[in-house]
Homo-oligomer: A and B are copies of this chain.
């Protein structure tokens, strides 16, 4: 797996911002930490020692603390005064609730997208879907994962609602550490693709209710898949 060129987007949802701006130390550190949490290099429950991490990243504690505060606001870490921040480890119940909300948010995106996506956005979504078909044949989970994110992001954007995009992406990021393993369960890739197909068709038909319901099911299946993997059911 290749190293990502840049970290997670801006905390409050991808302000475009010419984007080749010189980053502050705090932003760099935040991106690195967020990536490490999201793709599992830092496990839930793990404490983050300020002095230690600051030293290892070659910055002082000041920007590191600001980064940790941002992560706390994103829900990726939890802080208590005079204690080390720890990577968030939600209870199974809380995780279920988050998946449920995620399903509703994505369903809303899909519904709005079915009503409002522009022609070029629809075309783009089809292209992504075709790409997923090709990757499916190679059975390459990590490659599939990347394009899968794009598929969902394209639908978010299709809702034409920047705030909805913001909170949906934020929720998705927060759940990332717990969705990572889903594509490793047998046959999940193929099932995922079929579900995407139903969503795509509904959106292209402009069928809001069907798009929403297909998406809702898709996300809740992801949750099932996680719970199965994690041995929670």
A72–B66 Cα gap in the complex (Å)? 12
Contact B100 A161 (CB under 8 A): yes
Contact partners of A84 in chain B: CB under 8 A: none
* Copies of this subunit: 2
Name the distance in Å between A179's Cβ and chain B's nearest Cβ.
Answer: 15
Which residue of B66, B74, B97, B100 is within 8 Å of A65 (Cβ)?
B66
Interface SS of A by simple majority: helix
Stretch with Cβ within 8 A of B (4 or more), from A37-45, A162-170, A186-194, A198-206: A162-170
Contact A161 B11 (CB under 8 A): no
From 123 to 138 in chain A, residues with beta carbon under 8 angstroms from any chain B beta carbon are none
A74–B170 Cα gap in the complex (Å)? 12
Name the distance in Å between A52's Cβ and chain B's nearest Cβ.
Answer: 20
- The verdict on A184 contacting chain B, using a C-beta distance below 8 Å, is no
- The verdict on A73 contacting chain B, using a C-beta distance below 8 Å, is yes
Name the distance in Å between A168's Cβ and chain B's nearest Cβ.
Answer: 10
Interface size on A, residues (CB 8 A): 32
A17–B74 Cα gap in the complex (Å)? 19
- The verdict on A62 contacting chain B, using a C-beta distance below 8 Å, is yes
- The verdict on A94 contacting chain B, using a C-beta distance below 8 Å, is yes
Name the residue on B nearest A175 (C-beta). B163
Contact B11 A94 (CB under 8 A): no
Contact partners of A24 in chain B: CB under 8 A: 81
Contact A73 B11 (CB under 8 A): yes
Which residue of B62, B73, B163 is within 8 Å of A94 (Cβ)?
B163
Contact partners of A73 in chain B: CB under 8 A: 11-12, 69-70, 73-74
Contact partners of A97 in chain B: CB under 8 A: 161-164
Name the distance in Å between A54's Cβ and chain B's nearest Cβ.
Answer: 15
Not counting A12-B78, A97-B161, A97-B162, a sample of 18 additional A-B residue pairs whose C-beta atoms are within 8 angstroms of each other reads A12-B72, A12-B75, A17-B80, A21-B81, A24-B81, A27-B81, A65-B66, A66-B66, A69-B69, A70-B73, A97-B163, A97-B164, A98-B163, A101-B161, A101-B163, A104-B108, A163-B171, A167-B171
- A residues with CB within 8 A of B: 11-12, 17, 21-22, 24, 27, 62, 65-66, 69-70, 72-75, 78, 80-81, 94, 97-98, 100-101, 104, 108, 161-164, 167, 171
